[in-house]
Structure 1
Amino acid sequence: MEQYEAEVGGPVRHAVHAHASATDGRTPGRRNDVNEIIGYTTGVFDMFHIGHLNVLRRASERCDRLVVGVTTDELCVARKGKSPVIPFEERREIVASVRYVSSVVAQSSMDKVGAWHLHRFDRMFVGDDWHGSDQWHRYEREFGDLGVELLYLPYTVHTSSTLLRQRVVSEEAVS
């Protein structure tokens, strides 16, 4: 079942599971030790742009503390076949400097449930461009079993690192 929440910039889709229950004694959506909601999102964050900022802002508005996994250079090469323009340490520092971000961790694996075991977040935020994919349907079920809420945030369609890279290449070709 999905719920929709109106917001400037588009709806946020919530993957809600009636069978959700925490397996470690936590109340779903709440951390008993400090009574705060921990959010988690990931990304390459190469050539940081307004779309990245929008995701981080929207995610931070829906949790008390936002942990961001910045994809390592090695994982980028393994997944996309190319290195990011900006090296990992610089991307990590850029993301860490954003006021919406509480802490930054290295994302060296695409295993989001494995990341939950490390960081014990209550909400996972992902761009709505992933909504409906087989991979994220599986995560909806797995996170539901762990009591983790999965929220799909509006994707900023007018800009992306890929579009920026293409623009730079086309302008260099004209010069």
Structure 2
Amino acid sequence: MGRRLIGYAPGAYDLFHVGHLNLLRRARARCDYLIAGVVSDDQLERVRGRRPVVPLAERLEIVSHLDVVDEAYAETLADKLETWAALRFDVFFKGSDWQGTPKGLELERRFAEVGVDVVYVPYTLHTSSTKLRRALAVLGGEVAARGDAAVERAGS
């Protein structure tokens, strides 16, 4: 029996949606064992300038129960090579929105040094956590505006 191919697919997995599921399904189809790296709240705040809507423990719980994920891992290190040193995966999966970018090219270069292939999976264009976050902000503003109007009516 041959050696099993271990894949690693990191992400925030905040406001979990079909794009996340698509990434994980496509990654799982290309490896024997899939580890989903769930990026910590602190790392997301450092990189993106904001904390996730859903806390790490809950995101880990959601991702760990997907049938395409063999293991959910709390990613707390900024350097992906340090994560590789801890997990020793063979393939690193990333959304195609990274392909050809300076960050993606640097990732490819660094992983090539340790024999890890970077595989880009198609990015789901019609949905994203950013779009969901914007929709929630709009809805939050509408709810707040309706609440303010109700307060004004009650006060008159």
Q: Would you call these one fold, judging by a TM-score over 0.5?
A: yes
Where in structure 1 do 4 or more consecutive aligned residues deviate above 4 Å? none
Match of 1:174 among 129, 142, 146: 142
Q: For 1:41-80, what aligned pairs fall within 5 Å after superposition?
A: 41-80=9-48
Q: For 1:108-123, what aligned pairs fall within 5 Å after superposition?
A: 108-123=76-91
Q: For structure 1, which segment, 128-137 or 94-103, has the greater mean C-alpha deviation from structure 2 after superposition?
A: 128-137
| Gapped regions of structure 1 (runs ≥ 5) | 1-31
Residue number in structure 1 paired with 2:69: 101
Distance apart, 1:138 and its partner CA: 1.9
Aligned length: 143
Asked if 1:131 is matched to 2:99, the reply is yes
Match of 2:132 among 130, 145, 164: 164
Distance apart, 1:77 and its partner CA: 1.3
Distance apart, 1:142 and its partner CA: 2.1
Matches of 1:71 and 1:161 in 2, distance apart? 14
SS of the residue corresponding to residue 4 of structure 2 reads coil
Q: Which residue type is aligned with residue 111 of structure 1?
A: D
Match of 2:117 among 143, 146, 149: 149
Greater RCO (Cα-Cα under 8 Å, separation 6 or more): 1
Distance apart, 1:113 and its partner CA: 1.3
What is the TM-score when the length of structure 1 is the normalising length?
A: 0.77
Matches of 1:142 and 1:169 in 2, distance apart? 37
Asked if 1:90 is matched to 2:55, the reply is no
Q: Which residue type is aligned with residue 105 of structure 2?
A: H
Matches of 1:75 and 1:138 in 2, distance apart? 19
| Gapped regions of structure 2 (runs ≥ 5) | 144-156
Matches of 2:132 and 2:37 in 1, distance apart? 22
More helix by percentage: 2
SS of the residue corresponding to residue 94 of structure 2 reads strand
SS of the residue corresponding to residue 146 of structure 1 reads coil
Instruction: Mark the structure with the bigger radius of gyration.
Output: 2
Q: For structure 1, which segment, 89-98 or 106-115, has the greater mean C-alpha deviation from structure 2 after superposition?
A: 106-115
CA RMSD of aligned residues (A): 1.5
What is the TM-score when the length of structure 2 is the normalising length?
A: 0.86
Distance apart, 1:109 and its partner CA: 2.1
Matches of 1:122 and 1:78 in 2, distance apart? 27
User: CA-to-partner distance for each residue in 1:101-140, whole Å, 9 max, x for gaps?
Assistant: 0101111123111111111111000011011122221221
Q: Which residue type is aligned with residue 70 of structure 1?
A: V
